[in-house]
Amino acid sequence: NAGVMQNPRHLVRRRGQEARLRCSPMKGHSHVYWYRQLPEEGLKFMVYLQKENIIDESGMPKERFSAEFPKEGPSILRIQQVVRGDSAAYFCASSPPEPGIHYGYTFGSGTRLTVV
Amino acid sequence: RKEVEQDPGPFNVPEGATVAFNCTYSNSASQSFFWYRQDCRKEPKLLMSVYSSGNEDGRFTAQLNRASQYISLLIRDSKLSDSATYLCAVNSNSGYALNFGKGTSLLVTP
C-alpha cells in the first residue's frame, strides 16, 4: 500500500527554465495539498486541489506558479522561469474524499529543487 | 505575531534526559494540533496529534493549553535516535491547511 509518491526526488534547473514536480496521492485519496519549505523556514501551505479542481491556492505565489490535478494521473506543480529563490523542498500530502485534517497529513518524500 | 512560533534551539541533551518543547499559536479558534518529526533532508513525519486532555505515546507526551494558546511535547528517557527537528502544526482558518512552526532542533548526545 504505497504512500504519497513524489518525483523527482531531486531536480536541478537553470534560471529561466521550467520545473515540473509530480505527486501521486495514496490509493483512494482524491485530495492533494502542496507545501514548500524554504531553507531555514517552516513549511508553508501553497495549494489544495481535488480531482480537476483547485480548491484553495491562497499560498501560491501570484506569478510563475501553477498546479493541477487531472482526472487521470498525478498532481503537477509547475514553476515557470525559475529563479534562485525557488530553491526549496516541495512536499505533497493527500487525504481521502473526506479531508482528514483532524488526523494530520502524511507527506511524500518531497522534491528538492535547486536552481543554479 | 506569527501564526505558530517555536524556540529553534538547539536543545542538546544527554541520553536518558527529559526534554520539553513548547509551541505557541495565535489563532484562538484552532481545533487541530500536531507534532511532527523531521530528520535532516527528509519529509516531516507525523509524531502525534495533541488532544485537549493531553495524550501520551510511549516516551512522548503532548499537552494543549488553550487558555495560554500553546502546545507542548515532552520526551522522556531521550534516545540518540530522537535527534531531529520537531515541528508543531496548527490548523488554519480554512480547516484543511496546517500552519507549521519553524521547528525545534534536538540533539541527544551519548
Each residue's pLDDT tens digit, A64-101: 999 999 999 999 999 999 999 999 999 999 988 776 55
pLDDT over 90 at A9, yes or no:
yes
Q: Record the cell numbers describing residue A20, joined without a space.
A: 515540473
Mean pLDDT over each residue of chain A, to the nearest integer? 92
Helix (H) or strand (E) holding B65: strand B60-65
B contacts of A40 (beta carbons < 8 Å): 102
Interface mutation vs chain B, best among A7, A105, A106, most B CBs within 10 Å: A105
CB contact under 8 A, A56 and B99: no
The pLDDT value recorded for residue A1 is: 55
Q: Does B66 touch chain A (CB under 8 A)?
A: no
| Band (B26; pLDDT cuts 50, 70, 90) | very high
CB contact under 8 A, B44 and A108: no
Cβ-Cβ contacts under 8 Å between A and B: the total is 63
CB contact under 8 A, B87 and A112: no
Separation CA B70–CA A77 (nearest Å): 33
Each residue's pLDDT tens digit, B32-57: 999 999 999 999 999 999 998 999 99
A contacts of B42 (beta carbons < 8 Å): 109-110
| Band (A13; pLDDT cuts 50, 70, 90) | very high
Separation CA B40–CA B83 (nearest Å): 10
* Closest Cβ opposite residue B98 in set A105, A106, A112: A105
- R_g over Cα of chain A: 13
CB contact under 8 A, A112 and B41: yes
CA distance readout (Å), A108 to A7, A90, B30: 9, 9, 25
> Would you list the DSSP string of A20-83?
EEEEEPPTT--EEEEEEE-TTS-EEEEEEEETTEEEE-TTS-SSSEEEE--SSS-EEEEE-S--
Region A28-52: what's the mean pLDDT?
A: 92
State how far Cα A59 lies from the chain centre.
Answer: 11
Report CA torsion sign: A79, A85, A87, A93.
negative
The pLDDT value recorded for residue B94 is: 81
- Cβ B101 vs Cβ B87: under 8 Å: yes
Q: Record the cell numbers describing residue B21, joined without a space.
A: 518543547
CB contact under 8 A, B46 and A105: yes
Separation CA B46–CA A15 (nearest Å): 34
CB contact under 8 A, B34 and A102: no
Separation CA B20–CA B11 (nearest Å): 9
